[in-house]
Amino acid sequence: MALSTNLVRRGGIYYFRCRVPNDLVARLGRTELSRSLATANPDVARRRGRWAAHLVEQVWLLVRECMSPEQIDDVIRRWLKAELDKDEVARTNTAFAGDYAARHGVDVKAVAREMIGSDAAAQMDEWQRHALDARWEEAQPWANTIIRDQGLPIEKGSDNYRLLCLRLLPALADFHGIRLERSEGNWSHQIALPSAPMVAPELLPSPKKGGQPLKDAIGEYLTSLKRPNGPIEKRIMEIRGSLNLFSGWLGEDTAITAVDRATMGRFLMALEKLPPNWTKRFKGKTIHEVLEAIEGSGEKPLRSNTINGHLGVLTGFFDWCISTGQLEAGTNPAVGIRAKGGHDTAPENQRASFTAEEVHTLFQSPLYTGCRSERFATTPGTQKPRNWKFWILLIAVFTGTRISEICQLRPEDIREVHGVWCFRFNTKAGKRLKTKASTRDLPIHHELVKIGLLKLAQSRKGQKELLPDVPEAVYGVPGHKPSRWGIRYLTRILGKTNEDGEKYVNHGLRHTMETKLRETEGVEEWMQHAIMGHKYHHISDRYGKKPVQRLAAAMQRVDFGVDFSHLYLEGEEQPTRES
C-alpha cells in the first residue's frame, strides 16, 4: 500500500507535510507545514497522517476565521469529548487497583471505580474553585496542549488566549464531574458536537516575525526563571553559564531560528574538545581561542556528564522558546544531542553507601564522644556540643533526607500526626524542596527521640530554625555550608574514599537509609518511596493518603546494627520498638 503524498520519511521517522493555501501564505509567513508523527511504523503513520490532514483542514478554517467565544467553546467541546473518550478506554485497565483489592479481598473493578471517583471529586472541587476565582492561569497547560494539538492561531498573552483559559476552567470542572458520574454508574452525560467547526468573522493575524537574537532570547529566559518557586540563584547562575558558553561559541546576535540540529552537533563536537576548568586556566580567552590553543595538545576533555549538563540547559531553553511562540512546536534543535557515555560514572565520582562499621566509626568520632571544641570537632577532647553539626548527620542517617531539607526544618515542623511524631517537610515559610514528592510527613525514628530530638524542638520553640546556629543559605542554596562541612568531617573521620574508590559524601547517608529500607523485612515498596520522598511510579499513588502509622512501623524496623546509647539523654522517653 502506497504512503500518502503528505507523508515523508526522515531518519527513519515519518513526518506529515503539506502546502499552505496561497491565500494564507502571507498571513502564516510560510509556504508549507511539517510535523513529526513520532513513529517509524508506516501503518501508524498513515492513520496519524489522515488525522493530521483532518486537523489541518480545520486549521485553515480557523486561520481564515476569527476565534469568537462561540468558536472557542466549540474547540473546548471537541477537546472535552476526546478526553472523555480516553477516560472511557482507560477504565478498562484496573491493574492499578489490583494490589489494594488483593490485600483487602474486594472486587478490583469496584476498587478502581472508587479510586477514580475519589480523584474525580477532588479534581472537580479544585477546578470549581479556580473557576469561581477566575484563575485563568491554572488552565494554561491545558490551553497550550489544545493550541498545539489543534494548531490554533492563538498567541500566548492575547485576549483569545485568556478567553480560552477562562472558558476551560468550568469545562475542566465539568470533565471531572462527568468522570465522577461514570464512577457512580451514570453514563448518560454525553458531549454533543456540531458536524463542523463554527465559522466566525475573518481574522487578520500579524505577519510572522523574524527570529529573535540569541542574546535577547537568553535575557528574557533568565528573567522568566526568577519567578516565585523558580530555580534557586545558584542554579540560575549555572544556566546562565551554559547559555553564555553557547552564545559565545555561536555569536550572540545569531537568530534563534537559525539554530538547527547541525549547529548543535557542531557545538557538541566543540565541547568534546574543551578541557576541564578552561575558563580558569585560559582567563580572558574565548572558546574559539581556547580550542585553537589546545589543538593537538592531547588535553583531557570535559566529562560526558558535564557536556550533557550544558546540552540539557539548551534543551530547556529551546523548549521555552517553543512555549513562548518564538519557535515552531517540534523544532527543538537540542533534543537528542548528547555525548555518549553520559551515564557512566567513574568510581572516584560515585557516592559510597555506609556499612555498619562505618556508621559505628562515624558516631564514635570526637563530635559524638567528646571533642576539643565546636570549631575543632574532629580533635578528641571533653566538649560535647549539641549544635547543628551534632544533629545534621544524625538526622540524615535516620531519615535519608537531603542536607538542604534538614537545614530548613523549623521547630514547628516536629509535629504529632495521628499520634505519631513526625518531621513535616513542606514548602511553607519560603522553604524549598527538590521535588513535589519531597513534601511528606516522615515518622521520627525512636533512636532520634532517645537522643533528644523532641526536647530540641521544644527548646527551640519560637526560633526560625530547628538546628541551633545553622548557617544561612548561600546563593539561594539552603545547607550549602553545612554540606561542605559534612563532606570535610566525613573525610577526616573515614577517609576520602572506601576500598572500592567511592567517595564519602553526605548523600551517601541517603543511599544508606534507602539500602536499609530495601533490606528490612515488611517494608513495602510504596513505603520506601514515601519515606525517601521519591515519586512512586504507580497509578495507585494518585489515590488516598499514606497512613502515617504504617510508615512509622516501617521506620522503627530499620536497624543499623550500631549502638547509639552514648548519645541518649537521661530520662528521655524510651519508645518500644515495633516488630
What lies within 8 Å, CB to CB, of 237 at 6+ separation is: 475
Which pLDDT score is estimated for 88?
Answer: 83
Q: What average pLDDT does this structure show over 191-220? A: 57
- Residue ending a domain, among 300, 323, 346, is 323
414 lies in the same domain as 520: yes
169 lies in the same domain as 218: no
- Whether 466 maps to a domain, the answer reads yes
- Whether 141 maps to a domain, the answer reads yes
Q: What percent of the chain has pLDDT over 90?
A: 18
- Whether 491 maps to a domain, the answer reads yes
130 by Cβ neighbours in 10 Å (0-12 / 13-18 / 19+) ranks as buried
Residue 348 C-alpha cell reads as 572516584
- Whether 340 maps to a domain, the answer reads no
| 3-state SS, residue 381 | coil
Q: Taking 90 as the threshold, does the pLDDT of residue 296 lie above it?
A: no
24 lies in the same domain as 151: no
Query: pLDDT by residue (tens digit) across 122-139?
Result: 888 888 888 877 888 888
378, 430, 433, 375: which is closest to 401 by C-alpha?
Answer: 433
- Whether 197 maps to a domain, the answer reads no
Cα 497 versus chain centre, distance: 31
Which pLDDT score is estimated for 446?
Answer: 93
Alpha-carbon span 106 to 238, nearest angstrom: 52
Query: pLDDT by residue (tens digit) across 446-491?
Result: 999 999 999 999 999 989 899 988 888 776 678 888 999 999 999 9
Query: pLDDT by residue (tens digit) across 149-161?
Result: 766 767 777 777 8
- Whether 234 maps to a domain, the answer reads yes
Cα 29 versus chain centre, distance: 36
- Whether 9 maps to a domain, the answer reads yes
Least confident stretch, 53-62, 193-202, 412-421 = 193-202
Which residue has better confidence, 402 or 52? 402
42 lies in the same domain as 111: no
420 lies in the same domain as 364: yes
Residues, the chain: 579
415 lies in the same domain as 529: yes
Which pLDDT score is estimated for 457?
Answer: 93
571, 513, 574, 568: which is closest to 368 by C-alpha?
Answer: 568
416 lies in the same domain as 537: yes
- Whether 384 maps to a domain, the answer reads yes
Which residue has better confidence, 576 or 327? 327
Which pLDDT score is estimated for 496?
Answer: 87
51 lies in the same domain as 113: no
CB-CB contact of 195 with 77 (8 Å): no
Q: What percent of the chain has pLDDT over 70?
A: 85
431 lies in the same domain as 523: yes
- Residue ending a domain, among 171, 187, 203, is 187
Which pLDDT score is estimated for 443?
Answer: 92
Strand partners, 422: 415, 443
Query: pLDDT by residue (tens digit) across 4-38?
Result: 668 888 888 888 888 888 766 765 667 888 888 88
Mean residue pLDDT of the chain comes to 81
Range of the domain at 30: 1-65
pLDDT band at 287 (very low <50, low <70, confident <90, very high): confident
**Strands 414-417 and 420-425, sheet pairing:** antiparallel
CB-CB contact of 377 with 366 (8 Å): yes
Looking at residue 480, which CATH number applies to its domain? 1.10.443.10
Give helix 507-519 / helix 388-399 axis angle, nearest 10°: 30
CB-CB contact of 563 with 528 (8 Å): no
Total structural domains within the chain = 4
pLDDT band at 351 (very low <50, low <70, confident <90, very high): low
56 lies in the same domain as 124: no
Alpha-carbon span 364 to 368, nearest angstrom: 6
Which residue has better confidence, 496 or 58? 496
Looking at 212-309, which runs of residues are DSSP E strands?
none
pLDDT band at 362 (very low <50, low <70, confident <90, very high): very high
Q: Cell 512546536 appears where?
A: 329
113 lies in the same domain as 53: no
CB-CB contact of 317 with 218 (8 Å): yes
555 lies in the same domain as 416: yes
Looking at 3-146, which runs of residues are DSSP E strands?
7-10, 13-19, 32-36
